[in-house]
Amino acid sequence: MSAALTFWRSFAVNRGAVLGLAVMLGLVVLAVLADIAAPYSPIEQFRDSLLTPPVWQEGGTWHYPLGTDDVGRDILSRLIFGARLSLMIGLTVVTLALCLGTALGLTAAFAGGIVDVVIMRTMDVVLVFPSLLLAIVVVAILGPGLFNAMMAVAIVFLPGYTRLVRASALSELARDYVTATRSAGAGTLRLMFNTVLPNCAAPLIVQASLGFSGAILDAAALGFLGLGAQPPTPEWGTMLAGALQYYQRAWWVLTFPGLAILITVLAFNLLGDGLRDALDPKLKR
């Protein structure tokens, strides 16, 4: 309890981080309650109200507070359901990259030798390609779609986690307590997951929280290039791609989904910064 309290105290000092946390919690609530919170279904088309402007502009109406898109769907409702998708994207990508990266990193650190070399050189190769280019090629292989886009982004994120886990595992392995546990007869797996991994947790948590924002951003970029979620899925990047034809005439179809991405990514970045400062005393100033 007191550890949690200490953590919260050092976290709460950072006002930006608290703001980020609040926005994130708000998004979670919206995502969970999307069915209640959204005025309409995200895919319902109101064929007699195409491209209605937002309420404060001439021609706008309270029926569609943020206006409608080119087939008459309520933008507010799509954004609210999109929050659900974005959180899911962040969660899936980070979980995938985290699990795989941890497994690879621990294997490399424990096995050493040729296994280590192969894993780490492979990660080097992945890192050499610009991440977006690599993600685009991976999606081209798997075919466009939300899940495939998430896979692609997870692959791109993999080296970061693998390197991090390997580095911290190696430094833990050199410590006395590990040698002691080992000589006490603990198996390798037990050593990996019970002893070494918990000690690398802090940097991993920080990396994961920052990874959330990267995942949302990259998945949105793929959606924007037409390679992510397919219509009528209300994914924010995909909404932007659909808005391209109309944005000079109807600024709202472009502005709001982009703002939603920006705010979400910003919230996770602030949160990640705060977590880093609170969890990693070495970096704390």
Partner 1 sequence: MSKFRSALLGAVALAGFAIAGQATAQAKTLVYCSEGAPENFNPMINTTGTTFDANKPIYDRLINFKPGSTEVEPGLAEKWDVSADGLTFVFHLRHNAKWQSTKTYKPTHGFNADDVIFSFERQWKDANPYHKVSGGAYDYFNDMSMPDLLVSIDKIDDYTVKFVLKKPQAPFLANLAMDFAAIQSKEYADTLLKTGKPELIDQEPVGTGPFELVQYVRDATIRYRAFPGYWGAKPKIDTLVFSINKDAAVRLAKLRANECQISVFPAPADLPSIKADKTLQLLSQPGLNIGYLAFNNQKPPFTNIKVRQAINMAIDKKAILDAVYQGAGVPAKNLIPPSLWSYNTKVEDYKYDPAAAKKLLAEAGFPDGFETDLWAMPVQRPYNPDAKRIGELMQSDLAKVGIKAKIVSYEWGEYRKRVQNGEAGMAELGWTGDNGDPDNFFVPLAGCAASRIGGGSASKFCNPEFEALIQKAAEITNQSERAKLYEQAQVVMHREAPFFLIAHSVVYLPMRANVTGYKMSPLGAHEFTTVDLK
Partner 2 sequence: MLRFLLRRVTLIIPTFIGVTLASFLLIHAVPGDPIEVRVGEHGIAPERLAILRHEFGLDQPLWKQFADYEVQVASGHLGASTVTHQPVWDEFLTLFPATVELSVCALIFALVIGLPLGVIAAVKRGTAFDYGLMGVSVTGASMPIFWWGLMMILVFSVSLGWTPVAGRIGDAFFVEPWSGFMLIDSWFSDDDGAFASAVSHLILPTIVLGTIPLATIARMTRSAMLEVLGDDFIRTARAKGLSPLRVVIVHALRNALIPVVTVIGLQVGALLGGAILTETIFAWPGVGHWLIEAIQRRDYPVLQGGTLLIAVLVMAVNLGVDVTYGFLNPRIRK
- Going residue by residue from 240 to 279, which x/- string records binding to partner 1, judged by CB under 8 A? --x-xxxxxx------------------------------
Question: Which residues sit opposite 74 in a β-bridge?
Answer: 68
Q: Give CA–CA dist 166/161, Å, rounded.
A: 8
As measured in angstroms, the least distance from the Cβ of 32 to partner 2 is 23
Total of residues contacting partner 1 (CB under 8 A)? 22
Rule CB under 8 A: which of 251-280 touch partner 2?
Answer: 251, 254-255, 257-258, 261-262, 265-266, 269-270, 273
16 lies in the binding site for partner 2 (CB under 8 A)? yes
Q: How far is Cα 102 from Cα 106, in angstroms, rounded to an integer? A: 6
Asked if 33 contacts 81 with a C-beta cutoff of 8 angstroms, the reply is no
* 49 near partner 1, rule: CB under 8 A: no
By CB under 8 A, residue 137 contacts partner 2: yes
Is there binding between residue 143 and partner 1 (CB under 8 A)? yes
Q: How far is CA 98 from the centre of its chain?
A: 11
Residues in touch with partner 1 (CB under 8 A): 43-45, 47, 50, 70-72, 140, 143-144, 226, 230-232, 242, 244-249
Residues in touch with partner 2 (CB under 8 A): 16, 121-122, 124-133, 136-138, 140-141, 143, 213, 217, 220-221, 224-225, 237, 240, 244, 247-248, 251, 254-255, 257-258, 261-262, 265-266, 269-270, 273, 285
